[in-house]
Amino acid sequence: MKIIVIVPRREEFLACEVLKGLHRKGVELITSAPLTNIRNAYHIGTHDIPDTKYYSDDEVIEHSKSADYIFVLWSKFASLYANDFGAKLYLLDKINLPEKTVFIDGSEYSHTGHEYPGQNRKDILSCTKGLPWINQELRDKAKWYFKRETYPEDIVEHNIIPCPYPFRIEDIQEYQSNRDIAILCAFGQTGTGLRAEVQAACNTIKHELPVLANKQDGGRSRYLDLLSRSYMTVDAWGGGDCTVRKNEAHMNSIALCQQAWGIVDPYPFEDGKNIILYNTTDEFLEKSNHYLQNLDELIAIGKAGHQHAIQYHTTEKRIDYIFDIINNQIKWTDE
């Protein structure tokens, strides 16, 4: 299989995992720019993808004549009011094969990746979606529009296909036989969702083991070490409902207590079986206190979450899902 890839202007988690997954599946990638152009300080995936040959615009257009698909990978706009996200989108017009075009939209807040004035990411009843929410230009030019943050109405009104972050096997840490942390509640910022509220609630929980509920210093390696030693960790909405924190917990068999999503998960986790869900701070406290008195249940939920993640949500499984959609093996609408 040969796929043209319109590479984003900067490193983005979903874009990196799609590139990585396609490479692992043995797909021939014809990229619009060198991957070295999007490797930066985020270190969220491109370093795991081998360098690919750089193709000129003319070569990309020539290869498109025999390519199976054209994948367009989103990245955050340079500013709220930029015209597009900086990739070589003009190639889509020159290729002009919408029937083969796939758009992977990894945006949060709005389709630009920026908050709009007045947007409220703490509204737990009906999260305000920054407008415009859908990239209409790409909706018109792509047969398949996959989106990280997909609400039920997006499927019905715009034929958007849910595509949350996949889970990285690279995030699995060495198994910890002796867990010594009751709860890890560590956020990079606390301005969205119920992050500030659950962090404050954690500081009221009493347990014989430590409850860590502050911003953790020491970088990502330190965070993953603390995570692997915990019975339970906490997640709440960030720029979008879908977060990398969720993936790291499940991949390390740690029970996740997560603010319930408003977006669609194509293979959802089940409350009390492989995840713990809450909608309010009171519900978070009630469930946390229950499970901390039953640590064996947390271990079982963590293991079940890992099994579900491996079965449905790894990078490779997300690529399988994308092609199942493309090949009509899975349908979200009747179109």
Among 253, 248, 235, 254, smallest CA distance to 171 is for: 248
pLDDT bin (cut points 50, 70, 90) of residue 117 is confident
Please compute the mean of the pLDDT values over residues 33-40 and round it to a whole number.
70
pLDDT higher than 60, residue 15: yes
In the chain, pLDDT over 70 holds for what percent of residues? Answer: 92
pLDDT bin (cut points 50, 70, 90) of residue 116 is confident
Q: Report the chain's mean pLDDT, rounded to a whole number.
A: 90
pLDDT of residue 188: 87
Strand, coil or helix: 282:
helix
- CB under 8 Å, gap of 24 or more: what pairs does 278-287 form? 278/194, 278/198, 279/124, 280/124, 280/194, 281/194, 281/197, 281/198, 281/201, 284/194, 284/198, 284/201, 284/234, 284/257, 285/201, 285/204, 285/205, 287/257
pLDDT bin (cut points 50, 70, 90) of residue 130 is confident
Among 306, 203, 200, 291, smallest CA distance to 252 is for: 306
Strand, coil or helix: 18:
helix
pLDDT of residue 272: 97
CA dist., res. 317 & res. 312, Å (int): 6
pLDDT higher than 60, residue 125: no
pLDDT of residue 183: 97
Q: What kind of fold does domain 169-312 have according to CATH?
A: Rossmann fold (3.40.50)
Strand, coil or helix: 81:
coil
pLDDT of residue 9: 86
The CATH number that domain 2-166+315-326 falls under is 3.40.50
pLDDT of residue 35: 77
pLDDT of residue 176: 66
Q: Do the bridges between strand 160-162 and strand 101-105 make them parallel or antiparallel, or are there none, so unpaired? A: unpaired
pTM score: 0.94
pLDDT of residue 45: 57
Residues 255-314 pLDDT 10s: 999 999 999 999 999 999 999 999 999 999 999 999 999 999 999 999 999 999 999 999
Please compute the mean of the pLDDT values over residues 172-187 and round it to a whole number.
87
Among 272, 185, 192, smallest CA distance to 235 is for: 185
The domains spanning 2-166+315-326 and 169-312 adopt the same CATH topology: yes
pLDDT of residue 40: 57
- Write down the domain spans for the chain: 2-166+315-326, 169-312
State yes or no: cis peptide before 162, omega within 30 of 0: no
Residues 188-206 pLDDT 10s: 889 899 999 999 999 999 9
pLDDT higher than 90, residue 98: yes
pLDDT of residue 54: 81
pLDDT bin (cut points 50, 70, 90) of residue 220 is confident
pLDDT of residue 247: 94
pLDDT higher than 80, residue 42: no
